[in-house]
Structure 1
């Protein structure tokens, strides 16, 4: 089955679900309209009668452009970064990949502790040994993403990142 066929199948399933939801909502609207009519029929004010109440009919959506805006899509699946071993040249890439995961899946990482937890779960070797005391002592750093990043960068970020990048560019030119 091709990707397009799979996507089409997902869209058809979603369209069926939306139609079922629409039918349920129309039933609810009809029930509410009946309750309003019953209430107004019991009203003592003759100026307000059920005949004066206009209940709008729900509009049928036939425009495919409008349909496409209501279809819920599956969240994008972003691969987790590779484990980080302390290589200073890979620090920025690792952190940026983690930030991409947080950005695309905010529901999975709503708090600082969730973000720090993901990063710590991807550490290995000397970096994991560096992180262990924070975990063992339940350090406040674990609950403050910005503070954690500050501490993490102090130890593992390349302090001369710009110079390192310039050197790498010069080496490529030669």
Structure 2
């Protein structure tokens, strides 16, 4: 049996650091924003871009970029890519959200969101992995939270929240019984998108 579906709304516009935004103030909106942030970082696959995205999309009290799981992933990829990482970008990374979980909600302003991605990287050969990633997502209307709140329609937007990073998400292969047992819901664009 396939996993139940979670409908994720579409982004309404492009926000700071070129990351899609405009997600509604709902748990599914927080999941969509987390996916947009992660896809931008992993497909950009550069230290500079990761720093820029982190600065634009984290709460002022969120963990520093040096301790961010996505920065560690980018650094590991670039190290593994070796000389290929430094020559006219002779590699590609395609990141597709395929499943999601809402592990916790506290009112309208805080969601523990998790997204499972299918990541395909090509350096010399192609490798594919399932990668689960969770973040504390916090709704903010404060321009002091490292970004332009007008990116969310002027009334606010989801950012990576303050506090210690959550436990790692299970990185299962998408669409399998193991993924379903781990609680992953099949990613589906919301109706009318």
Q: Which has the higher contact order (CA 8 A, sep 6+)?
A: 2
Category of TM-score, reference length = shorter chain: under 0.3
TM norm structure 2: 0.24
Give the structure with higher Rg (CA): 1
| Greater share of strand | 2
TM norm structure 1: 0.25
